[in-house]
């Protein structure tokens, strides 16, 4: 018999000195603010490598295709993580998965910080992809569940806008340090290492919002389940989804190389500014178009993506840098409008328990397009050069987005 049991036998109640103390947690409002910040920080870290890639290339002297390989590896690892552990927090709780994801993100930041070669940079992007995929589901769910009762719409808006805003802020933050700091590649990752360490510590005191339930191991089995009632609408929206992710690959992975090789722009800040303009425009388009009907928003979005891709090709062909900035603006507006219109059009058509499968189908298509296009661009750039690769990429993006305009405008999908 233990001491606690003896006390219970003698007194009829547990000894006050032996009673377990609940784990201290912050208030739900504080948890909402902290986890929202952590979610943005994870996406900031995902956008941070964009302006640093040319710096790494100049320092280590590796071919351009290895840069796009690092980007493709990130997309594939993120996708696998989403497929395998995307619903794990529904079974083990939000907090354990948030702690693990942010701790793994911290490992990625440390790998970036001390990377001695492009090989370690690829490893860092691989780890970062897994961490981001693991964090996306648990942090998003926690933000919505921790949001105060009168601010549930704010929680939902955070989960939809944080990815776009975070990527843009990450590129701008990294670009500013790269422009003015003595060793930007070190200082960027040092700052983000501290941020991820603080985020990991904060999750330890965040209130748990989900009840544990059995089936954790079974939830690790990847499966795709697209509800029957939206398959036609999903196929119509698919070219828009693919072109949106192609655009992200273009401005995060290829444009920094294009600015150096084609336009002789060696300023990391300008490279970061192109990505920031793109994602800032996308965030604005998603945030301020809630009154526009989803079908019209998808049509406008894919049209803008098509125009942005044409402007990008023209910028390379005419060697006109202003056209590149215009391409960034119109492509970003198209991304925000197209993706927002797609989700707003599809989600109301399915039952609540079918939404996870729907979002999985959307992100699988998007991240496969992102990863495959990055790897193919990396292989092609060594054969035909940066300029021709960029033009070919822009043409593929324009054709795909134009197909999205056609399928969205077809009579059977004007809902």
* Domain parsing of the chain, residue ranges: 27-210, 226-415
Find, among 158, 155, 136, 160, the residue nearest to 86 by Cα. 136
Q: Please say whether the structural domain 27-210 has been given the CATH code 3.40.50.720.
A: no
List, for the chain, all residue ranges whose pLDDT scores fall below the cut of 70.
1-23, 150-153, 155-156, 352-353, 355-356, 411-415
| Calculated CA dihedral for residues 413, 228, 400, 80, nearest 10 degrees | 150
| Dist CA 249 CA 369 (whole Å) | 9
Q: Cα separations (Å) of 407 from 50, 101, 357, 368?
A: 33, 38, 23, 21
CATH architecture of the domain with residue range 226-415 = Up-down Bundle (1.20)
pLDDT at site 23:
65
C-beta separation of 407 from 301 below 8 A:
no
**3-state SS track over the chain:** CCHHHHHHHHHCCCCCCCCCCCCCCCCHHHHHHHHHHHHHHHHHHHHCCHHHHHHHHHHHCCCCHHHHHHHHHHHHHHHHHHHHHCCCHHHHCHHHHHHHHHHHHHHHHHHHHCCCCHHHHHHHHHHHHHHHHHHHHHHHHHHHHHCCHHHHHHHHHHHHHHHHHHHHHHHHHHHHHHHHCCCHHHHHHHHHHHHHHHHHHHHCCCCCCCCCCCCHHHHCCCCCCCCHHHHHHHHHHHHHHHHHHHHHHHHHHHHHHHHHHCCCCCCHHHHHHHHHHHHHHHHHHHHCCCCCCHHHHHHHHHHHHHHHHHHHHHHHHHCCHHHHHHHHHHHHHHHHHHHHHHHHHHHHHCCHHHHHHHHHHHHHHHHHHHHHHHHHHHHHHHHHCHHHHHHHHHHHHHHHHHHHHHHHHCHHHCC
What's the pLDDT score for residue 152?
62
**How do residues 208-253 score in pLDDT, each as one tens digit?**
877 787 887 877 777 777 788 888 889 999 999 999 999 999 998 8
Give me the pLDDT at residue 414, please: 52
Same CATH fold, 226-415 and 27-210?
yes
């Amino acid at each position: 018999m233990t001491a606690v049991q003896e006390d219970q036998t003698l007194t009829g109640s547990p000894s006050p000195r032996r009673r377990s103390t609940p784990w201290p947690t912050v208030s739900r409002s504080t948890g909402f603010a902290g986890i929202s910040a952590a979610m943005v920080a994870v996406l900031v870290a995902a956008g941070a490598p964009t302006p640093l890639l040319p710096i790494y290339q100049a320092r280590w002297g590796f071919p351009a295709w290895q840069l796009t390989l690092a980007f493709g590896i990130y997309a594939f690892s993120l996708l696998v993580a989403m497929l395998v552990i995307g619903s794990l927090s529904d079974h083990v709780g939000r907090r354990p998965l948030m702690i693990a994801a942010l701790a793994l993100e911290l490992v990625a930041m440390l790998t970036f910080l001390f990377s001695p070669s492009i090989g370690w940079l690829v490893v860092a992007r691989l780890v970062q992809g897994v961490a981001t995929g693991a964090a996306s589901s648990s942090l998003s769910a926690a933000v919505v569940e921790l949001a105060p009762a009168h601010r549930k719409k704010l929680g939902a808006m955070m989960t939809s806008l944080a990815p776009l805003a975070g990527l843009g802020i990450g590129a701008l933050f990294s670009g500013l340090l790269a422009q003015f700091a003595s060793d930007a590649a070190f200082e960027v990752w040092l700052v983000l290492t501290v941020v991820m360490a603080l985020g990991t510590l904060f999750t330890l005191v965040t209130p748990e919002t989900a009840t544990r339930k059995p089936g954790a191991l079974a939830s690790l089995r990847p499966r795709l389940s697209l509800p029957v009632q939206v398959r036609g609408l999903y196929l119509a929206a698919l070219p828009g989804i693919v072109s949106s992710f192609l655009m992200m690959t273009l401005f995060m992975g290829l444009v920094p190389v294009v600015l150096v090789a084609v336009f002789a722009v060696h300023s990391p800040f300008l490279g970061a500014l192109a990505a920031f303009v793109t994602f800032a425009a996308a965030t604005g388009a998603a945030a301020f178009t809630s009154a526009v009907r989803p079908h019209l928003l998808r049509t406008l979005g894919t049209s803008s993506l098509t125009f942005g891709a044409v402007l990008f090709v023209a910028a390379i062909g005419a060697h006109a840098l202003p056209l590149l900035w215009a391409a960034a603006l119109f492509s970003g507006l198209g991304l925000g409008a197209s993706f927002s219109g797609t989700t707003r059009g599809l989600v109301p058509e399915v039952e609540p328990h079918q939404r996870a499968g729907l979002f999985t189908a959307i992100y699988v298509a998007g991240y496969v397009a992102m990863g495959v296009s990055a790897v193919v661009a990396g292989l092609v750039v060594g054969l035909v050069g940066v300029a021709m690769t960029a033009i070919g990429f822009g043409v593929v993006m324009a054709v795909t987005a134009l197909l999205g305009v056609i399928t969205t405008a077809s009579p059977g999908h004007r809902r």
